[in-house]
Structure 1
Amino acid sequence: MEIKLPGYFKYVVILLGLILLIWLLQTFKAILMPLAFALLFALLLLPMTRDMEKWRVPRALAIICSLVVVIVVLGLVIWFISMQLASLTSELDTIGNNFDKLLIKVQDFLHDKFGIRRSNKSEFIQNTFGSLREVSTTFLGSTISMTTGALAAFTVVPIFVFCFLYYRDHLQQFLFKFVAKDRRAYVMHTVDNIQSVVQSYISGLMIVIVIVSMLNSAGLLLLGVKYAIFFGVFASILTIIPYIGIMIGATLPALFTLATTGHLIDAVLVVLVFMFVQFLEGNFITPYVVGSKVSINPFAAIIALLLGGEIWGAAGMILSIPLIATLKVIFDAYEPLQPFGFLLADIDEVKTQKSGQFKQLFDKLREKARRKRREEELEEKLEEKQEQEQ
């Protein structure tokens, strides 16, 4: 006997399931977060590993070579950023003195023009930034925690990546255990489609970051900004955050330029450079490199970033964009979940899909009209031929 439950009961169960999922993600963060990073790197390294295997390189050796390449590249990036930060911290005293002079000029201007009382320097710092001791203590504790977590992740993630790539055939057979034999071909096609789209999206995103970092650095170098390459790379990484990333990426070098030169026009030029690069990235670079295979609307991306930061902190914010892109591909591939894929899609992608559908429909109608016209012409020729024979 079939039991029918009310509709609201289903939504209550879904809500409880989401709450349970968030609780599990936060509780088992130490295990799930390295697994998520390992899965992301495994998808990136899978094409390279397959190419080496085609050259008759053993699978284990191919995976190790791919991991060595990634570790070397990441090590060079971390070394460069650490060297730039070390050089930047050596000029903090100079930057602080320049900010003090600039603050005095602004206070004098506000007092002369608007009669606003000059505030004490220490009072201003205390009201703006709070207690320096509490901030430093919190920062030191979080730094130690992040360093410990990063060291643990660097040792565990490569092992997980190796296992994902080495046992990928076994994992595929494990997936087939849940699917009927007549449905395995469809499931395999869907999995391959998801895998290829996610790979192209993540690799395209990396290429966009490299191109944007080169453009940012070139623009800052033309303006004569110190540490231009560091600020260019830092801002390019932040471009994955819609709207907010470009604001943060442009604010830091603009403030640094204002502190070092003392001229507002120099800071404005820095902001204009980042705005121009952002315009190129949004309208030309990303559509050309990433393409229209998957595109997330900014609202969904911002929500994903906030949720990722709330659940897993900075690591969650890094993983949120690839994860939401993966979910969109899965939603689009599974028909009952396609409305959620439509909700996550960018407006331009929806318009492109609609225009493509309208174009296909128009081509079908035009081809149908041509066939009908040809049939009418053939009938007329047959009738004329019959009349001539008579």
Structure 2
Amino acid sequence: MDRPRAAGTPLPAMSYVILGIALFGGLIYLLRPVLTPFVLAFILAYVLNPLVDALERRRVPRIASVILLVFLAGVAVAAAALFLVPIVETEIRTALERGPVYIETVQTRVVPWIEETFSVRLPHTSQEWGAEISRRAGALSTDLAGTLGSAAAAMFSGILSLVLGLVGFLVVPVVAVYLLKDFNRIGRGFLRFLPERVRPAAIVRVQEINSVLSGFVRGQLLVCLILSVLYSAGFLLVGLDLAIVVGLLAGFANIVPYMGLATSLVMGGALAFLQYQDSGHVLGALAVAAVVQVLEGTVISPRIVGQRIGLHPVAVIFAILAGGQLFGFLGILLAVPAAAVVGVLLRAGASRFRETSWFRGAA
């Protein structure tokens, strides 16, 4: 008696899905130099789309909701910049004024420790550092013409990158408006490209992916904001000159798993030592990093983000390293969400594969 073939049909459909993912991934890899503003615009649209839908359900025209929310997001960013820039500027100026103290600490405490620990000889005084720099500069003098040419090319490249960066910054809100205006229609349009026999299953997968990503992306942004406040407050209590700067960097570095902890430990500990040259303040800075990390892992992230991403820590680390290797910083930023999407698809494919007659051992 023949078994029904329905259980054996998912494999061809899944092969189309895998082929489509591979082609899409190759296209993304080729276009990676110009993708950053579009990715940022998509993230902004993805975060704001539920609010736009909510306003639309209250009979507010969608285009009006889109323009209003993008404008409010821009105002919020501008207000944060106006509030933070003077504080950051003051902290950096104070740190620069104390630069000679930091240099003296490096010369009298750090350099001897490195020499003793690693059995190397480093310059101690500013004169020795100057002589070392002069020696290295002299070794490169024969290539001066080439160096100047490279410097000119680098300057031109830097100016071009700055212009392109400004253009990209202006592109983000414009693209976000267009994406938000047609966000749901674009999603339905993609589904129309799928064969009708796989469309219902694809809709289920898309809903599952959206459920995983929506809470993660929006929650992670809120977590980063909370951590920035906690790190900054803690480092202010310790008395670091760059408390707000380090707090912001450590908080938003947490968007890449484990990077926030590394940033707070290294920068907080190093700055505390350079500024105070005692173990008490260093331990205080390290304690701030540890306490905030414990709060993030046990209270903040579980309550705000939860376990939505569903990835093993080893998978997260591999995704970050692979994303950085393939796509640079953008790859690191998107590694965990992309891995979550792949995880959803793999779990769905494995579930369907276990239903096939081949897996069940049928002839």
TM-score, structure 1 normalization: 0.68
C-alpha displacement of 1:285: 1.8
Alpha-carbon separation, structure 1, partners of 2:251 and 2:114:
39
Alpha-carbon separation, structure 1, partners of 2:114 and 2:172:
57
Alpha-carbon separation, structure 2, partners of 1:93 and 1:293:
43
C-alpha displacement of 1:293: 2.0
- 1:238-290 CA-to-partner distances (Å, cap 9, x unmatched) read 12333343122332233223222232321221011101111221223212221
C-alpha displacement of 1:22: 6.6
In structure 1, runs of 5+ residues without a counterpart are 1-13, 340-390
Other-structure match for 2:183: 168
Q: How many residues align?
A: 321
C-alpha displacement of 1:198: 1.0
C-alpha displacement of 1:41: 1.8
Gap change, CA 1:282 and 1:143, over 3 Å in 2: farther
Match of 2:299 among 279, 284, 287: 284
Gap change, CA 1:173 and 1:221, over 3 Å in 2: closer
- Residue 299 (str. 1) matches residue 307 (str. 2): no
Alpha-carbon separation, structure 1, partners of 2:304 and 2:251:
15
Other-structure match for 2:123: 119
For 2:338, the aligned partner's letter is: L
Q: Which has the higher contact order (CA 8 A, sep 6+)?
A: 2
- Residue 98 (str. 1) matches residue 136 (str. 2): no
Gap change, CA 1:36 and 1:124, over 3 Å in 2: same
- Residue 36 (str. 1) matches residue 39 (str. 2): yes
Q: Root-mean-square deviation (CA), in Å? A: 3.9
Other-structure match for 2:269: 254
- Residue 76 (str. 1) matches residue 91 (str. 2): no
C-alpha displacement of 1:51: 0.9
Match of 1:275 among 290, 303, 309: 290
Gap change, CA 1:27 and 1:164, over 3 Å in 2: same
TM-score, structure 2 normalization: 0.72
Other-structure match for 1:371: none
Alpha-carbon separation, structure 1, partners of 2:154 and 2:272:
25
For 1:225, the aligned partner's letter is: L
Alpha-carbon separation, structure 1, partners of 2:259 and 2:297:
14
- Residue 239 (str. 1) matches residue 242 (str. 2): no
Is the Cα–Cα contact under 8 Å of residues 115 and 121 in structure 2 kept in the other structure?
no
Alpha-carbon separation, structure 2, partners of 1:65 and 1:157:
16
Alpha-carbon separation, structure 2, partners of 1:113 and 1:280:
38
Gap change, CA 1:237 and 1:120, over 3 Å in 2: same
Is the Cα–Cα contact under 8 Å of residues 98 and 260 in structure 1 kept in the other structure?
yes
Which aligned pairs between 1:119-138 and structure 2 lie closer than 5 A? 119-122=123-126, 123=128
- Residue 64 (str. 1) matches residue 67 (str. 2): yes
Other-structure match for 2:171: 156
Is the Cα–Cα contact under 8 Å of residues 240 and 275 in structure 2 kept in the other structure?
no
Is the Cα–Cα contact under 8 Å of residues 234 and 288 in structure 2 kept in the other structure?
yes
Gap change, CA 1:104 and 1:233, over 3 Å in 2: closer
Gap change, CA 1:60 and 1:192, over 3 Å in 2: same
Taking every aligned residue pair, what percent have the same amino acid on both sides? 25
Other-structure match for 2:329: 314
Other-structure match for 2:241: 226
Is the Cα–Cα contact under 8 Å of residues 43 and 195 in structure 1 kept in the other structure?
no
For 1:163, the aligned partner's letter is: Y
Is the Cα–Cα contact under 8 Å of residues 95 and 259 in structure 1 kept in the other structure?
no
Other-structure match for 2:140: none
Gap change, CA 1:144 and 1:250, over 3 Å in 2: farther
Gap change, CA 1:336 and 1:247, over 3 Å in 2: same
- Residue 51 (str. 1) matches residue 54 (str. 2): yes
Gap change, CA 1:121 and 1:29, over 3 Å in 2: same
Alpha-carbon separation, structure 1, partners of 2:64 and 2:325:
38
Specify the structure having the higher radius of gyration (Cα).
1
- What secondary structure sits across from 1:90 in the alignment? helix
Gap change, CA 1:85 and 1:315, over 3 Å in 2: farther
Alpha-carbon separation, structure 1, partners of 2:164 and 2:224:
25
Which aligned pairs between 1:159-198 and structure 2 lie closer than 5 A? 159-181=174-196, 183-198=198-213
In structure 2, runs of 5+ residues without a counterpart are 1-17, 138-143, 355-363
Gap change, CA 1:179 and 1:101, over 3 Å in 2: closer
Is the Cα–Cα contact under 8 Å of residues 255 and 267 in structure 1 kept in the other structure?
yes
Alpha-carbon separation, structure 2, partners of 1:215 and 1:248:
14
Q: Which range moves more in the overlay, 161-170 or 61-70?
A: 161-170
Is the Cα–Cα contact under 8 Å of residues 242 and 298 in structure 1 kept in the other structure?
no
